[in-house]
Structure formats: C-alpha cells, structure tokens
C-alpha cells in the first residue's frame, strides 16, 4: 500500500478534524498578545503565527500540487526537491509530490548554495519548491541547474526567477490524481554522508515509508486522542517518521518554530500536547530553565503530557534521571536509526525499559539486529563489533551508486558503521562510530569539509577536526591546526576565517598542534582523541 492512501483515508473518515497546527512563537512574542487575543483582533486574521489545517484541506492541497506537477510534465519516477523551513505547507507538498508517482527529495535547510546544487545534481531532480529563506542561495545557482525545469516559490515577494506555488496550485483541481501506486514504487530520496563528507542519495520506497508508520505507532501507541509536538526539521527522517505515527492513527500534531524552554512548555500546555520528541540540548535547556527558576512548571497545564522521547544522538543517563525528577509520570523512550533505515526505530529502548537507560535498546518492531566482526560474523555476547540491522525500512539503495550500496547492504542486512556491544539481556550499547562524523545537537558535522576549508587559510599547513565531549550538545567540533613554518596565527583569526562557514560547522575549539598522519597519509585521529581526551559520549555512558 502506498503511504498516500493513509492520507486519503484520513481525509475521507476524519476530513473536518484538525490534523496540523503551525505555531511561530517568535511572531507571537513580537505581537505581545495571547493566541486567543490574536484571533479576536479585527481585520487581522489568525494565521500569521498560528495556522491550522484539517485532514480534508491537507489532502486537497496535496492533490492540487500533484495535478499542477502532472500538468507541467512531472511523471512517475521524476524527482521533486523540497527546500523549506518547517511550516504548514511542508507535509502537503511532500504528499503532493508522492501522489504524482514522483519522488520527494527533502533538502537540509542548512545547506549552502553549493551543497544544494550538488544534491540536486546527484538526485537528478527536475523540480524544486523553495521558501523565502532560500531566495539568496537559489539565486546564485538557478542558472547552474539546467536539469531543474520547474522552480516554485512558496511564500510572499516571489523572486523573478521562480513561479508562485500558491497562485498556481489555487487554480488546480483538488481531486485525487489517477496515478496508480504500489508499496514497491520508489517514493523519496534522503541525503546522508560517508567518510568523505559528500552526501549520498538514499532511495526509499512507499513500503519503506509505510513500515515507519507502523513501527512508530507500535513503539509509542499513538491513538486518535494524542497530539504530537514536532520541533525538529521535517527534511530529516527523524521528525517526519515520528509524525508518521500521527498519520497512521489520524491524530493531531503541532509544528513549533522555536526551541526556547518556555515556548515548548507553553505549547504543550495550551495545545494539550501528549507526546514530545526532543533532542538532548532542548531537554537540557528545559531542565536548566527549571532549576534556574526561569520557568515554573506550576504555571503550565502538563498533566496530559504522557511521553517524552529522544533520538538523533546518544543520551546521557544523568539527563534522564534529572528529567524523571521533574516529570516523574512521563514515559520515556530512546530511538536509534539512520536515514538508510528510514530514520528512528530500527533499535529503540522501549517505554517499559527505562531501567536500561544508557542502552540504545533492542530491535524495533519488525526489525532484527546483530553485532558482527570485520568478516560479517556475529561476535560473542558482550564483545564490540559493528551493528547491523535488517527490516522493512532498509533503503533500496544509494541512488546511482551500486558500489556504495554493496558496501553497506549484504544479504538484506544494513551495516550501520556504528560500533556496539550487546549485553546478556539483548540490549545494545553504542561504543563508537567507525566513521568520523561528529553529532552535535542532533546534526551531523563532517570533519573533512571543515578540514578542507581550514587548509585554504594561508597560514595553515594541515588541519584535523575531531569531536570533543560536550554535556549539552553531545559533541563539539575541535580543530587541530598545524601552521606553516614561520607563520603565526591566533584563535581569533581562525574564528574570523571560519565565519564563512555555516554556523553549525564552525569549530567550537581551536588547538594549535601538529597533525599526525600515518604512512599512507591518513590523519591518525585516534591519537588526537587520546591526546585531547575526546572520549565519546556513548563510551562514557557505558563506563559510567
């Protein structure tokens, strides 16, 4: 069954019920009024910072976009990219693309113009829908992406090089397009990255997406009375696949734009949120705000909040112990996954296993897992090896990259590149990553990209970037910089130079030292980690 049928079913059975709400708390604070007061202001329709959508309107908007794309020549198997901040339009656009038989290609909103172009080329994208935050980036490359025949702009003040998504879809039929789909049809391309730092295009089918719906609902028991608070970006498999539980259960969800503790608690309170997925920094910020007295829990209605779960990075057990002190009645779950395994859920702790905090958990619903050695054979209980998973959400392949696909999928098993061990009770603990990717606040940082950039500085001979333990965001990027003989350079100068990088890629610590390399020319990062105490957070969890 294609995932679009679940949306059609919801529209048919629950069409008049609200399914999505977008809240922009920053706009609300600027207006300095409550949500209710704002809705009552004459000639100022609610919607600037709070907008609602029913299942019927959701389905109709998806149909309108699908019919527009079909009219413009988009056909089954084509690729349509989405470059939007979280907003009410995001999911209808995603499903509208799927209804044509084309593949949705979500793009990271932190990508530079060069990275956007690279991903559009890699995925053979023929159409792009983008928002106002990206006008500058698209303007610099739109004449360099000849394969992208359709540029649709979702927002006000349309740039001259794009067409209006709102105007064009408004004139299209809201009837479902007559495109036959099956669960084996290709549905979406997501982006990951290998050790080189260049993204790989991950291909998933409709069956893969539907499996995520069932996995999420089985793990967290969404019912029609639930209301899910979605804060992470929808381009990421994590946020969207957790929302898929709401889709399958036909329950509500709120898209919150903003991560301040008081915003999260206010939204939970006023929207009667029951399920919240947080990243470690956001949970840390909430606890810190409570302990500083910046927020008072008694000021909010939180009794309906039943589940808090965390994913995207290792979770310190101490954080959950603190959380339970203030929220003793909360169920809790940790979710592990990769974009190659359709996001979170292939391994999860389970709400009944909070006594095992520190482990990433056990195989998820309909999933298998094993720990293997370099030859792909299972290791003994308790021994460290590579984590491999098998289940209905394993990617079909890396798009147009059979060699890379064969390196990670073997006999239907996905080799994750993460080193792990399994205890006597079958619970899996991450130990380290084979790859050098740094996970900071749930975002992947690829050291090679930063290293290449640093070497462009005229005083830098060599550079290596490693992750250092950080309590709040998991890891921070630290740059070890070897200067050319006779050159001088300060940390301030390096920080100024790195201002050209996206903020999340800038090194948070600069160390001037020699960069060790082995006889084959590879940087000896284990030596650097040992020298600077860069013990991984997951290893610290196991030992602690």
Give the pLDDT confidence of 312-353 residue by residue, as tens digits.
666 778 889 899 999 999 999 999 999 999 988 999 999 999
CATH class of the domain defined by 4-42+51-258: alpha beta
- State the pLDDT confidence band at 534, using cuts at 50, 70 and 90: low
Which among 145, 162, 144 is positioned nearest to 153, based on CA atoms? 162
Taking 80 as the threshold, does the pLDDT of residue 521 lie above it? no
Specify the range with the lowest mean pLDDT, choosing from 6-10, 17-21, 371-375.
Answer: 371-375
Taking 70 as the threshold, does the pLDDT of residue 370 lie above it? yes
The per-residue pLDDT for 30 is: 54
Torsion of CA 394, 400, 404, 405, to 10 degrees: 30
- State the pLDDT confidence band at 67, using cuts at 50, 70 and 90: very high
CA distance 102 to 98: 6
pLDDT tens digit string along 127-154?
A: 999 999 999 999 999 999 999 999 999 9
pLDDT tens digit string along 203-226?
A: 999 999 999 999 999 999 999 999
Q: Are 475 and 469 in contact (CB under 8 A)?
A: yes
Place of tokens 């994750």: 416
Domain 310-433 has CATH 2.70.98.60: no
The per-residue pLDDT for 519 is: 46
Domain 440-543 has CATH 3.30.300.30: yes
Give the residue range(s) of CATH 3.40.50.12780 domains in the chain: 4-42+51-258
Pairing verdict, β 409-410 and 397-398: unpaired
- Mean pLDDT comparison of 97-106, 198-207, 334-343, 511-520, highest-scoring range: 97-106
Q: Please state, in angstroms and as integers, the Cα–Cα distance from residue 322 to each residue in 284, 317, 404, 538, following that order.
A: 9, 9, 42, 18
pTM over 0.85: no
- State the pLDDT confidence band at 543, using cuts at 50, 70 and 90: very low
Taking 50 as the threshold, does the pLDDT of residue 467 lie above it? yes
Q: Please state, in angstroms and as integers, the Cα–Cα distance from residue 291 to each residue in 294, 295, 333, following that order.
A: 8, 8, 23
Helix (H) or strand (E) holding 41: none
Give the residue range(s) of CATH 3.30.300.30 domains in the chain: 440-543
Helix, strand, coil abundance in the chain, percent, nearest 5: 35, 25, 40
Give the residue range(s) of CATH 2.30.38.10 domains in the chain: 310-433
The per-residue pLDDT for 258 is: 87
Taking 50 as the threshold, does the pLDDT of residue 33 lie above it? no
């Amino acid at each position: 069954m294609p995932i679009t049928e679940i949306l059609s079913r919801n529209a048919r059975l629950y069409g008049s019920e609200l399914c999505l709400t977008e809240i922009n708390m920053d706009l609300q604070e600027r207006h300095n009024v409550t949500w209710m007061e704002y809705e009552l202001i004459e000639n100022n329709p609610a919607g600037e910072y709070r907008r609602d959508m029913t299942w019927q309107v959701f389905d109709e908007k998806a149909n309108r976009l699908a019919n527009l794309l079909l009219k413009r020549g988009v056909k089954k198997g084509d690729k349509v990219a989405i470059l939007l901040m979280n907003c009410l339009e995001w999911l209808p656009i995603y499903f509208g693309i799927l209804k044509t038989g084309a593949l949705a290609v979500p793009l990271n909103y932190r990508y530079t113009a060069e990275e956007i172009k690279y991903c559009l080329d890699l995925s053979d994208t023929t159409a792009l829908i983008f928002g106002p935050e990206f006008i500058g980036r698209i303007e610099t490359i739109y004449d360099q992406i000849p394969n992208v025949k359709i540029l649709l702009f979702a927002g006000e003040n349309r740039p001259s090089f794009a067409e209006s998504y709102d105007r064009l879809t408004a004139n299209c039929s809201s009837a479902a397009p007559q495109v036959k789909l099956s669960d084996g049809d290709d549905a979406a391309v997501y982006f990951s990255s290998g050790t080189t730092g260049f993204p790989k295009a991950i291909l998933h089918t409709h069956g893969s997406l539907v499996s995520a719906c069932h996995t999420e609902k089985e793990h967290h028991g969404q019912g029609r009375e639930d209301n899910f608070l979605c804060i992470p970006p929808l381009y990421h498999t994590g946020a969207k696949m957790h929302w898929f539980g709401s889709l399958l259960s036909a329950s509500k969800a709120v898209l919150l734009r903003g991560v301040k503790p008081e915003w999260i608690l206010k939204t939970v309170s006023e929207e009667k949120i029951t399920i919240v997925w947080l990243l470690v920094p956001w949970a840390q910020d909430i606890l810190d705000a409570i302990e500083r007295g910046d927020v008072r829990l008694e000021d909010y209605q939180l009794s309906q909040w039943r589940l808090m779960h965390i994913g995207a990075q290792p979770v310190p057990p101490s954080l959950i112990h603190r959380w339970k002190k203030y929220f003793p009645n909360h169920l809790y779950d940790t979710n592990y996954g990769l974009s190659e395994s359709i996001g979170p859920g292939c391994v999860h702790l389970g709400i009944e296993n909070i006594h095992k905090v520190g482990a990433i958990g056990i195989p998820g619903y309909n999933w298998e897992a094993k720990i293997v050695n370099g030859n792909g054979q299972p290791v003994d209980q308790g021994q460290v090896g590579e984590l491999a998973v098998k289940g209905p959400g394993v990617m079909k392949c890396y798009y147009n990259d059979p060699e890379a696909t064969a390196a990670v999928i073997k006999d239907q098993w996905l080799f994750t590149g993460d080193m792990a061990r399994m205890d006597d009770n079958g619970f899996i603990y991450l130990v380290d990553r084979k790859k050098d990717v740094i996970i900071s606040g749930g975002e992947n940082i690829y050291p090679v990209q930063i290293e290449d950039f640093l070497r462009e500085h005229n005083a830098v001979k060599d550079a290596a970037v490693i992750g250092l333990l950080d309590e709040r965001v998991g890891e921070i990027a630290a740059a070890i910089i070897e200067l050319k003989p006779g050159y001088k350079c300060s940390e301030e100068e390096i920080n100024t130079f790195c201002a050209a990088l996206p903020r999340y890629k800038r090194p948070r610590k600069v160390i001037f030292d020699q960069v060790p390399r082995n006889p084959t020319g590879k940087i000896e990062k284990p030596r650097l980690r040992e020298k600077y105490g860069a013990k991984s957070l997951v290893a610290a969890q196991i030992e602690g």
